Amino acid sequence: MMLPQVFALQWHRALFEQDMAQVWSSMTTDFRRVVAQVALGKDPRPHGELDPIVDELSAAVPAREDLQQFFSAACSILQNSCRVSPDSVGAGTSTRIEAPAFEVVRLYMLEDLAIDAEGNYFLQPGHAARALTLVLSAEEDESWRMAGIGGVLIPGWPPTLDWESPAEA
């Protein structure tokens, strides 16, 4: 199994490279549903009419004529949620298991870290660093899927917060 930090870094980079086919297929179904619902949230049609569209879009490999337009909107939503580019963050050496199937990976802002003589970034004792918090899901096939940014949302109109990562100790 790939280390969760490696998966998180690769997923984050693919997002900012706008490789939405890779990004989308690497997300949990619920996370894909949430992003689809957020993207369609201002559509004036009743939610009951939008649910079949959300079902189509939440597939790992959706097949719709308007897919590129949707992927553009989804990419913007996800990039805005992450707020930082891949070149400005690095993964810590540990993850935090939060539930039987979730692990939290923090991607730390490099500008908040010190650099040792070998060029490695590290957090100095007594200092703090800002971080992007990504929630990963451990799948039965021993792969990782992105489950959320900062927390996990439950699909719905609107999506609701199921779990939020506590502040790092």
pLDDT of residue 169: 43
**Which domains does the chain possess?**
4-164 (3.10.450)
Q: What is the pLDDT of residue 55?
A: 97
Distances (CA, A) of 57 to 25, 46, 48, 133, 167: 11, 17, 15, 25, 32
Residue 95's pLDDT is what? Answer: 64
The amino acid sitting at 146 is M
3-class SS letters over the chain = CCCHHHHHHHHHHHHHCCCHHHHHHCECHHHHHHHHHHHHCCCCCCHHHHHHHHHHHCCCCCCCCCHHHHHHHHHHHHHHHHCCCHHHEEECCCCEEEECCEEEEEEEEHHHCEECCCCCEECCCCCCCCEEEEEEEECCCCCEEEEEECEEEECCCCCEEEEECCCCC
Six-digit token pair at 106?
Answer: 């923090």
What's the rounded Cα separation, in Å, for the pair 49 and 45?
A: 6
Phi-psi category of residue 37: left, alpha or beta, with phi > 0 → left and psi -120 to 50 → alpha: alpha
Q: Walk along the chain (169 residues) and give the pLDDT tens digit of each residue.
A: 569 999 999 999 999 999 999 999 999 999 999 999 999 998 999 999 999 999 999 999 999 999 999 999 999 999 999 999 999 999 877 666 666 678 999 999 999 999 999 998 888 899 999 999 999 999 888 899 999 999 999 999 999 998 887 776 4
Question: What is the model's pLDDT at position 99?
Answer: 61
pLDDT for residue 94: 66
How many other CB atoms are there within 10 angstroms of residue 167's CB atom? 6
Q: How many CB atoms lie within 10 A of CB 21?
A: 14
Q: Environment class of residue 84 by beta-carbon count within 10 Å: exposed (0-12), middle (13-18) or buried (19+)?
A: middle
